[in-house]
Amino acid sequence: MKVQRTRSQEKVLQFLKQLNHEISAQGLYVELRQADIPLGLATVYRALEALKLSGAVQARVLGNGETLYSQAQSDRHHLTCLQCGTSLPLNDADCPVHALEDNLRKSAHFEIYYHTLEFFGLCSPCQQQSED
Ligand SMILES: [Zn+2]
Ligand SMILES: [Zn+2]
């Protein structure tokens, strides 16, 4: 799908590609400033929202309500701790969802950009704490 991007959207997308990890809008705003790309916070939010809707950027909401953005990749899988918010990426070599994704694409006539799979619970340090 061809989408027309604004210059600030291009800057944000390029930066996320280089960054290669998830970041909050606030964090991205700070990093952009440090890299001498001074975009306003509202512009960063708008650019991220537009990029998200076009499928170029992926957003993930953490347990604490914070949203993290990253360049869209085909798959994302995480183990997320409800207590401390630690979120571990999983190796997605054996993703069980791909067949389902193909089916949905056909049966629901839905253009799927990506999927996420997230498991919630307690990480091992937090399990030990709750035993005390
Ligand atoms: Zn934890
Ligand atoms: Zn997957």
pLDDT digits (tens, 9 = 90+) for 14-63: 999 999 889 999 999 999 999 999 999 999 999 999 999 998 999 988 87
Which residues hold their Cβ within 5 A of ligand 2, which is an ion?
75, 95, 97
Distance 129 CA to ligand 1 centre (A): 9
- Report the CATH fold assignment for 74-132: Dna Ligase; domain 1 (3.30.1490)
Domain boundaries, the chain: 1-72, 74-132
Residues sharing a CB contact under 8 Å with residue 71, sequence separation 6 or more, in sequence order: 13, 16, 17, 20, 56, 57, 58
Q: How far is the CA of 49 from the centre of ligand 2 (A)?
A: 23
Spell out the CATH class of 1-72.
mainly alpha
Strand bridging mode 75-81 / 87-89: antiparallel
pLDDT digits (tens, 9 = 90+) for 63-74: 788 999 999 876
Q: Report CA(98)–ligand 2 centroid distance (Å).
A: 6
